[in-house]
Chains A and B, each alone.
Chain A
């Protein structure tokens, strides 16, 4: 990504939203960036790490988001501008630190970007974390489009440094993963000298210790900063108004909803009736600006994704100033003009606005829409999510499902966050029965494993990936070991943070910038904690199943850990290098006469193994097959055959 560090002011470049965020930070003189991978935030640190040596940065994939915030804050304390980036979950993970950072304050500009996922495209939650700003008394910016995102990030750094306060910046999937044209600004080449000053008076923001106490005094200082920010946001260039001077209806929007509201007004040709106030600074709110725009309209339509955050703030504001502003009618999420869940888009907003303005919105002729819906229903089978060909998780869960069935005591798996979350679906034989936050599977497993005194005798397994082990899995595991919980933990070690694009984690011998790093050995850690540890190759189905059944047979033996080691099929080290050439011997496959009822394609569900309807036999797609050889072990007739391949080193 050469353009990310091109010092060519005025040039236009096509950037991913996350790259625009990274470029904004670079134009602001960034020195340190830390993150934990998570969709849709990963490309922020990924792109910065690629240019780290050329731009003289320190970048890291931290063990989790709380530590990422701490690493970034340390840089700020020492006078280096810093960025922490994460998906929405990360803000929740790190919120304890942030609670205290708000009080201690920062020194050099520190910006915390959290990229949320309305509609849960790549999440198992739909968090709107904007209330953290009010809870922690920290300023909040919401990015609306790729082009202005870069400018907002630059302003966020300036404001953070001027007010010595961390600034929260909210992105969303539709911005982070959208691309747009960005005009490059100058790239500074700051001379950096990191020093942490701590010898001064405790309340001295530049020379005192960075501590959240004395709490009442630090909170007073924090609230003074907020009052100053409120005034500063009156002039904030990216709080924008579009439309007539005195609209009947005012739309107030933030984040990408700004784009939806703008285009909805346009599609309805309603610029004569409606105006749009597009806010970037949604906490604290610029009160003068609000007053100026709220006076004329009788109706205020708040367009936002997530919870009713801006809407509640505006209602409170209008109530407080009702003498000046008069009676308003509010539309938004609270009374159902907009849906309470899921993503917005131009059509959802246009339909709602059309209803409010008494217009009609019919973007597609009705006859066309029903014809298209019918054709899709009749002819377009859904694409269910599946593990990739050669994925070790399919093999691991195949053995887990089989062992649970053979054990026959109603056992189940407490799931966790990663590709292996798909084991709640047929792709992974639906063995996952609980699914919450990172590391929670083993925390729950630890709890289930202590219910024996109440008659609980179901086998409890938890699973986690290698990156999750370090992120938050470890404290849960220690808890289970210490309390002698009757738990069986299966670590699915595929040697990388696979789901988000193979970012390294502490178990690997290289870092974010590709340099050598200390590899922390998962097996050694588990042994040191005092767990009983077994290691196996999940592609060896019989051995894995034997180990699982043995471990499940022991009772009251404390924590047993099975590490299933096999690199991800898409990992750079593995891709395109199968161990076997696999094929179905048509002379041996009995097809529908077999009695297995298409066991290989119906149950095992590898995309490379398909049922040939004409031949009525199974077949291997040699373009898709990754050559793991696992399916050769499951055919009751032995019709799937593998031949070992030899690769030059």
Chain B
């Protein structure tokens, strides 16, 4: 659909993570790439106090011709969840998942304050994987923070995960599209490393 491989219309994607991981940036970049293809896109999110170490979520909705879309995705209607932090994916599924949902996950945890303070436990990766497998159609785990660090900065994980998501979801978006979406919104010296991260994410996801 839409000449770009939309599986559904409207197509609903949730990007999630912890404040400061680049969630807002990633959702904007994805939306820009899709809008540049002539699609109608909305992003729903909140920012402000929630940035201070809290869970964050951006809802991206895409349609060929549909306007008047709620900026928040209805319950059970997420087609994809893209998680910069794996525990946040689980939280998203409780509200928006369904047996049909698919996921791309960065495997690097960010510990909540209660875990840092030694008061609560973060689940083991095995337990989390079992939960997420049971609640989704497919879940792709990747070490995107590792890829990003190798390229110079853990912050590049937000661009790398977009590359991985594009590859897994079959969107026909290329490095050139990423370049067009990024060139006016980030400083020039960061452009090359972000494009590299996008490409590295794509390759890591088997593109």
Binds A, one of B1-9, B66-74, B162-170, B186-194: B66-74
CB of A179 within 8 A of CB of B31, answer yes
Mark each residue of chain B from 29 to 61: 1 if its CB lies under 8 Å from any CB of chain A, else 0.
Answer: 001100100101111111111101111000000
Closest CB in chain A relative to B45 CB, distance in Å: 6
Cα–Cα, bound, A12→B32 (Å)? 11
Interface: A381 (CB within 8 A):
yes
| A2 and B184 contact, CB distance less than 8 A | yes
Interface pair B71/A174, CB less than 8 Å apart: yes
> By the criterion CB–CB under 8 Å, are A605 and B113 in contact?
yes
Please give the number of chain B residues whose Cβ is less than 8 angstroms from any Cβ of chain A in the complex: 59
Q: Which residues of B contact A173 (CB under 8 A)?
A: 46
Find chain B residues with CB under 8 A from A256 CB: 70-71
Instruction: Give Cα distance in the complex from A262 to B10, angstroms.
Output: 14
Chain A nearest CB from B15 CB (Å) reads 13
Interface size on A, residues (CB 8 A): 66
Known: A262-B68, A363-B76. A611 touches B49 (CB 8 A): no
Q: Judging by beta carbons under 8 Å apart, are B41 and A365 in contact?
A: no
Contact B46 A364 (CB under 8 A): no
Among A147, A380, A611, the residue within 8 A (CB) of B91 is A380
Which of A14, A267, A381 is close to B35, meaning CB atoms less than 8 Å apart?
A14
From A180, A259, A260, A381, contact of B120 by CB (8 A): A381
Inter-subunit contact A259/B69 (CB<8 Å): yes
CA distance in complex: A631, B56 (Å)? 28
Q: Which residue of A lies closest to B116 (CB)?
A: A610
Q: Is A151 in the interface zone, CB < 8 Å from B?
A: no
Segment 559-616 of A: residues with Cβ below 8 Å from B:
598, 601-602, 605, 607, 609-611, 613
Task: Please tell me if the beta carbons of B40 and A181 are within 8 angstroms of each other in the complex.
Answer: yes
CB-CB under 8 A for A179 and B98, given A267-B74, A379-B128, A382-B112: no
Q: With the chains together, A388 CA to B127 CA distance in Å?
A: 29
Other contacts beyond A364-B75, A368-B76, A602-B119: 19, CB < 8 A? A14-B41, A39-B47, A177-B46, A179-B41, A181-B35, A256-B70, A259-B69, A263-B70, A263-B74, A267-B74, A346-B74, A350-B74, A368-B97, A371-B134, A381-B87, A382-B114, A388-B53, A610-B111, A610-B117
Residues of B within 8 A of A (CB): 18, 28, 31-32, 35, 38, 40-50, 52-55, 67-72, 74-77, 87, 90-91, 93-94, 97-99, 111-123, 127-128, 131, 134-135, 154, 184
A interface residues (Cβ-Cβ under 8 A, vs B): 2-3, 12-14, 39-40, 121-122, 145-147, 173-175, 177-181, 256, 258-260, 262-263, 267, 345-347, 350, 363-365, 368, 371-373, 375-376, 378-388, 419, 422, 427, 499-500, 598, 601-602, 605, 607, 609-611, 613, 623
